[in-house]
Amino acid sequence: MLFRAAILTFALAATPAFAAHYTAEPAAKPVEARFALRDVLWTCGDAGCTGGKSNSRPAIVCAVLAREVGSLTSFSVEGEALTPEQLEKCNARAGD
């Protein structure tokens, strides 16, 4: 019984019901649906990409993502979008 409770607790903690820390919309849909960049696991679909929390500054996370998937049309941190100037600087790293 204790083992079953431990498994259930682990399963509930590991479910993907986390709130995305980062959201981004690439100009073109990425080839991979799931990938890791540095310390962020990204999941991408038709509605864009979401990623978990990172120890890096948002500008770094944005630039690393842009380098991997190409230009981004938007990038947000906990629902707060980068300014157009910040997004332009991020996209300067894009590998388009």
Domain ranges of the chain: 19-91
Tens-digit pLDDT profile for residues 30-82: 999 999 999 999 999 999 999 999 999 999 999 999 999 999 999 999 999 99
Tokens found for residue 89: 């600087």
Q: What is the DSSP letter of 39?
A: T
Tens-digit pLDDT profile for residues 2-16: 444 444 344 334 444
Q: Are 43 and 33 in contact (CB under 8 A)?
A: yes
- Cβ within 8 Å of residue 24, ≥6 positions away: 48, 49, 50, 51, 62, 65, 72, 74, 75, 76
Per-residue pLDDT, 56: 93
Q: Which residue has the higher pLDDT, 18 or 63?
A: 63
